[in-house]
Amino acid sequence: MASLKVLVVDDEPSTRSYVTRVLENAGHDVLAAGNGAEAIEIWERERPPLVMTDWVMPGMDGEALCRHIRQERTERYTYVIMLTMREDQQDVVAGLEAGADDYIKKPFDKHELLLRVRAGQRVIDLETALGDRISQLEEALGRVRTLEGILPTCAYCGRIRDEEGDWHELETYIRTTTRAEFSHGVCPECAEEHILPHLRRGKTDGDESA
């Protein structure tokens, strides 16, 4: 997998240094913070897609940090992993309710750490792909909606003026602004006015020549 920008938050320098080293050796770009307030400042500035935070810290703990991240409206999702020594089920539920996506129980080894990060990266990649797809659909919908308003049309030739002021044939304009394709036929009125008279005239000429 590609490298990932990760924010590591822990008030213990030894743990922070260890996690940073493991992630950097795996090719990830690591940002580090020693407390929740510092983490918020870095996260709001850098918007790393993954945050790995200790649960128990002085001042703002990991749970409060997670809640802050979830309350912010961002274009891209932030995956949060809690580092904790807590084992009580109620504590785990509280962390997940605060918005954490996963947690790792201390002490942990580097293999487990990297596996959890890899799982988070898969979710981040899916979220990114989904966001890109939604943007493409919104752009396509925007092109279709151009046909819902008032279209400036020439009263003589029927051509349509676009937003840049250029004039286009109706068929060309619709092909440009939508994904519609044309198949050509003849309506009954046009058939009666333009085609059938020629057919009748041709038949009459044939009868006279006979």
Per-residue tokens: 164? 């840049």
* 117: confidence class by pLDDT, cuts 50, 70, 90: very high
Look at the alpha carbons of 57, 120, 132, 130 in this order and tell me if their dihedral is positive or negative: negative
Domain boundaries, the chain: 5-140, 160-209
Does 210 score more than 60 pLDDT?
A: no
What confidence tens digit (pLDDT) does each residue in 55-94 have?
889 888 899 999 999 998 777 889 999 998 876 677 677 7
pLDDT at site 153: 84
Burial class from Cβ neighbours inside 10 Å (0-12, 13-18, 19+) for residue 173 reads: buried
Mean pLDDT, rounded, of the chain: 84
What confidence tens digit (pLDDT) does each residue in 27-45 have?
999 999 999 999 999 999 9
Is 5-140 assigned to CATH 3.40.50.2300?
yes
Angstrom distance (rounded) from CA 83 to CA 53: 6
pLDDT at site 45: 94
